[in-house]
Amino acid sequence: MNLHPSARRLCAIAAGLIVSSAVSAQAVLPVAELGFGMARIEAEVAHTAETRVTGLMNRVAMPLHRGMVFVFPEERAHCMWMKNTLIALSVAFLDAEGRVINIEDMQPQTSDNHCAAAPARYALEMNLGWFAERGVKPGDRLRGIDALPAPQ
């Protein structure tokens, strides 16, 4: 396609604004350092109603050591789903002390419910298979959970 130079400039500016707004929308979430054993995690913190609803929707990729931790206002059998989520994820549901209750694998763009097997206070989403590859299992404790912000 042959565009006039001014049209090309406008397209470039528009593309820059779209990328910039997507980056700034992701950058507003606080990031917490968490971990299991020797595995270090940089987790975006979803601790407000709005960020918990949005989660990792519309992302096309996530670095290996990154994730998202959901801080819920109450302990209960929370459920996750993958509507508008483009990457395959595994989710670990955690109790108030940060111990893994259960881990569920989730496929992109599905409406299947993936629920905690017992009352959970947190959920940690990582790339599909992350927990299994590191031997993380129910009963393991997540490091750094005590430094997370309070839910809103």
Q: Measure the CA dihedral 15/18/19/25, to 10°.
A: 170
Q: Where are the alpha helices (DSSP H) in 48-128?
A: 49-54
- Predicted model pTM: 0.81
Confidence of residue 36 (pLDDT cuts 50, 70, 90): very high
Confidence of residue 9 (pLDDT cuts 50, 70, 90): low
Rounded Cα gap, residues 31 and 148, in angstroms:
9
CATH number of 30-147: 2.60.120.1140
Residue ranges per domain, the chain? 30-147
